[in-house]
Amino acid sequence: MARTLYGRKRVLVTGGAGFLGSHLIDRLLERGDEVLCVDNLFTGDKRNLDHLHDEPRFEFLRHDICFPLYVEVDEIYNLACPASPVHYQHDPVQTTKTSVLGAINMLGLAKRLNAKIFQASTSEVYGDPLIHPQTEGYWGNVNPVGIRSCYDEGKRCAETLFFDYHRQHDLKIKVVRIFNTYGPRMHPADGRVVSNFIMQALEGKPITIYGDGSQSRSFCYYEDLVDGFLRLMDNTPNNFTGPVNIGNPNEFTIKQLADLVLEITGSKSELINEPLPSDDPTQRCPDISVAKRELDWEPTVQLREGLEKTIEYFRNI
């Protein structure tokens, strides 16, 4: 183990310059850890880390985890991968490589160091679900050859690798399935529905709803999500590995989200409808019974409160 001179944990966060990674790093530093952030900046943004320039316990390394990494750390959070359709469909082969080769390289590092390793998986492993809400025992309804497959199947394969390393090498793993998350530091052009609606509303542009707006999602504020990450990673006594759904079980239609964004921003933007993209799920909502039982976790920030904070962030940028 790579304990520092002062007994602090040294934690590696891949994808640490991204929206969620940067917030996770803030929490790790707040509790006294040392953090090594690794990011190739394909979708990450170093501006998310500007406030850490003078932090002595923080280090940044530009690196692509599709290639091996040789560092000394105590724990690993593997968040590296484009996570919005616009980004992961831009280079689908690289997206799959990041999920699969990245997992192999990070698992190999964890095995060498005997370090606990966390995998940021996704609700996309459920595909366009045939059960609702989605439980961790559901195997999913995923198109293996569609335009979203690079992300969906890449993350599914990464989960397979994590559990095979756990069974074969007794590696300490933690796997989270992330549902829709939003908040400050989202990229304004990442193509996600929350950032799309907010930017269109603030700029007075038409708000684009794909399909008729009846498809549903659940929206989790980043603070709640990161709290779930830490609870899972620190939940060592019962050796709970996951996978565990982390998300907000309150369900909203896309039309309801658009109306709420218009109300909070005071925008006069009109709503327009466009064709629904291929393989876009009609329903997505987590069953969080396992998170409540194993982690004593459930979200506390409701959609209006979270949107108000997120809209204020976008106004300022």
Active site amino acids: 151
Whether 208 contacts 200, CB under 8 Å = yes
Distance separating alpha carbons of residues 23 and 29, to the nearest angstrom? 10
Neighbours of 59 (CB within 10 A): 15
Distance separating alpha carbons of residues 157 and 125, to the nearest angstrom? 10
Q: Which two tokens stand for residue 317?
A: 């940028």
